Structure 1
């Protein structure tokens, strides 16, 4: 288990147990694959691609087919329990929904195109852009679906040897 992964506390229930509760509340089935995907993402404490998720699920529950993992990720995303983010040109990455981890506000993802470091920032950073898109284009922005790219301060200043990555 990743030490940085979220752990249940008296004030915060296990995110997997909370997700299972929400799946049932939606009248959906709680399957071995869905539960295994949730546990893997909770224990990872970071973003995982579908393939990385499959490898880790297969260690914990051998025999679960790759297609089943993709379907589980899709279903969990549809239910709002998993968030998919495009990390630049890489494959989509998945993580537990911030609401399962006790976060009350959505977060944006920023990724350094030089070192690959991913950070989270407040989603209201793009509030003006979202309002303008809604007013001028009748378009609702989902800024959490993609990562904003640029350069972290370490790479921009040439201190890549001191990069936190």
Structure 2
């Protein structure tokens, strides 16, 4: 894949707020006049994810969604179900727990993901 196409996907993520699906990114790029294909968008997202440049999570429907990482450190996400606002959060207690559970069962070199979904203060206020 050309770097130019990967850079286009990277830029689309940089200007997006919250997590976006590959289809969302594809539609944005096409609306800007790009000739990029949906398969290329998927490949670029996978490459960016493998490089640690994007965060990936699965929605309740099982769809993978992506956003540009704002930190290179291990982190978790607090995501608003209504508007998609996302906050990166540290979870030292989760890290200790994962290490402890793994060790108790003879596992090493553990990895994990943790996403917390809720309603942000702005959306909660709008519903009130």
TM score, norm. by length of structure 2: 0.75
Structure 1: 5+ residue stretches without partners: 1-28
Write out per-residue CA displacement over residues 99-144 of structure 1, whole angstroms, 9 at most, x where no aligned residue. Answer: xxxx35333113456x46544322324122211233123161322x
* Deviation (angstroms), 1:66: 0.5
Contact 2:74–2:90 (Cα < 8 Å) also in 1: yes
1:123 alignment counterpart: 91
- Distance in 1, Cα, partners of 2:13 & 2:99: 32
1:141 alignment counterpart: 111
Matching residue within 77, 100, 117 for 1:109: 77
- Distance in 2, Cα, partners of 1:64 & 1:153: 34
Q: SS where residue 88 of structure 2 aligns? A: strand
Q: SS where residue 55 of structure 2 aligns? A: strand
Matching residue within 55, 60, 83 for 2:55: 83
Relative to 1, partners in 2 of residues 1:68 and 1:38: Cα closer, same or farther, differing over 3 Å?
same
- Distance in 2, Cα, partners of 1:153 & 1:81: 25
Contact 1:87–1:147 (Cα < 8 Å) also in 2: no
Is 1:34 aligned with 2:6? yes
Task: Return the structure number with greater relative CO, CA threshold 8 A, min gap 6.
Answer: 2
Relative to 1, partners in 2 of residues 1:116 and 1:40: Cα closer, same or farther, differing over 3 Å?
closer
How many residues are treated as equivalent by the alignment?
Answer: 123
Relative to 1, partners in 2 of residues 1:33 and 1:88: Cα closer, same or farther, differing over 3 Å?
same
Contact 2:76–2:88 (Cα < 8 Å) also in 1: yes
1:65 alignment counterpart: 37
